[in-house]
């Protein structure tokens, strides 16, 4: 372990953009901890770009603290060439009227495990979250998510999507927690999963734990194969089956991958997506 910590502090009212390139190697993971603090009304665009080579094992702790009225757009991309393991534990706290938009995409790691604890600590704070995992050929992707509304009139929205190819394994445990002080919460959680092969496995557990009244909550999950009717439709228009499948997978991923809004991260995510699409083996579809 390198014992390396990276700190970013955005001063009150300051606007910044940062790009962190974290290159993980077998003998040297890039960093252990990332601490991000935004003082009131600070604004940060953060690109967190992970690349790996060989059999590395990286464990990263990320702490994000947004002060009153602070705004952050955060994109984390994990693009690995195949044998690495990455585990990221994130804790996020939002003060009053703070807003965080966090998009996380990943593909290629033999294990990509993330835990995310988001606390909406101040009234009218807002958390928007998108999570896209593409795994195939023996890889695993897991997310353990909890979004807690500890203050009034906070909003959260989380959309998590997995694309699983042959012999891959996905896990999603996502919880919306609304304790009694979370009155007027608006919380939405959705997990949709695409299985491209009979041998892909997905476990999904969306939960809702509500102790306040006057809340608007929705949570749900759906897991299935590519839409047969859509595939046929595309083929009747002349598209060969592998192109039609790739188009539908890309469409499924696009609801998250199209919302990145930061150029280097978007570029990296697009490349990762392109590679993942080429490698996914959509041959044996569930009947």
Partner 1 sequence: MSAPLLDIRGLRVSVENKEILSGLSLEVRAGEVHAIMGPNGAGKSTLAQTLAGRDGYEVTGGGVLLDGEDLLGMNPEERACKGLFLGFQYPVEIPGVSNMYLLRSAVNAQRRAAGKEEINAAAFLKQARAEAARLKLKPELLKRGVNEGFSGGEKKRNEILQLAVLKPRLAVLDETDSGLDIDALKVVASGIRALRNGRRAFVLITHYERILNLVSPDRVHVLAGGSIARSGGAELVSELEASGYEPFLREAA
**In the complex with partner 1, which residue's Cβ is closer, 115 or 258?**
258
State the minimum distance, in angstroms, from the CB of residue 248 to partner 1.
7
Q: Is 180 in the site for partner 1 (CB under 8 A)?
A: no
b/e per residue 100-135 (b: at least 16 CB within 10 A): bbbbbbbbbbbbbbbebbbbbbbbbbbbbbbbbbbb
What three-state secondary structure class fits 233?
A: helix
Q: Which of 265, 257, 276 is nearest to 75 (CA)?
A: 265
- Quote the least distance from Cβ 267 to partner 1, whole Å: 20
Residue 11 DSSP class: P
Is 235 an interacting residue with respect to partner 1 (CB under 8 A)? yes
Name the segment binding partner 1 (CB under 8 A); options: 28-36, 143-151, 246-254, 265-273.
246-254
Chain positions 252 to 281 lying near partner 1, rule: CB under 8 A, are 252, 254-255
Q: Give the x/- contact pattern for partner 1 in 201-230, rule: CB under 8 A.
A: --------------------------xxxx
Measured from the CB atom, is 236 or 278 closer to partner 1? 236
Non-local (6+) Cβ contacts of 86 within 8 A are 24, 50, 52, 56, 57, 58, 59, 60, 78, 80, 106, 109, 111, 112, 113
Look up tokens 């998108």; give the residue: 130
Minimum distance, C-beta of residue 228 to partner 1, in the bound complex (Å): 8
The footprint of partner 1 (CB under 8 A) covers 227-230, 232-241, 243, 247-248, 250-252, 254-255
């Amino acid at each position: 372990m390198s014992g390396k910590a990276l700190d970013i502090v955005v001063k009150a009212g300051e606007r910044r953009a940062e790009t962190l390139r974290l290159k993980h190697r077998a003998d040297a993971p890039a960093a252990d901890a990332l601490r991000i603090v935004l003082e009131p009304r600070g604004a940060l665009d953060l690109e967190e770009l992970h690349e790996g080579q060989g059999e590395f094992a990286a464990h990263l702790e990320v702490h994000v603290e947004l002060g009153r009225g602070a705004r952050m757009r955060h994109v984390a991309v994990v693009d690995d060439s195949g044998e690495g393991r990455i585990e990221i534990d994130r804790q996020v706290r939002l003060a009053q009227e703070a807003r965080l938009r966090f998009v996380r995409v990943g593909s290629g790691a033999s294990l990509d495990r993330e835990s995310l604890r988001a606390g909406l600590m101040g009234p009218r704070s807002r958390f928007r979250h998108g999570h896209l995992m593409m795994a195939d050929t023996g890889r695993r992707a897991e997310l353990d998510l909890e979004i807690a509304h500890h203050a009034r009139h906070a909003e959260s929205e989380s959309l998590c999507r997995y694309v699983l190819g042959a012999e891959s394994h996905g896990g999603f445990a996502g919880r919306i927690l609304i304790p009694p002080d979370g009155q007027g919460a608006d919380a939405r959680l959705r997990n949709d999963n695409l299985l491209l092969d009979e041998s892909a496995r997905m476990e999904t557990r969306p939960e809702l734990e509500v102790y306040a009244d006057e809340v608007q909550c929705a949570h749900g999950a759906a897991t299935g194969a590519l839409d047969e009717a859509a595939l046929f439709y595309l083929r009747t228009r002349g598209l060969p089956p592998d192109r039609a499948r790739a188009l539908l997978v890309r469409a499924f991923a696009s609801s998250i991958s199209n919302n990145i809004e930061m150029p280097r991260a978007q570029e990296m995510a697009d490349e990762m997506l392109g590679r993942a699409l080429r490698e996914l083996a959509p041959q044996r579809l569930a009947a």
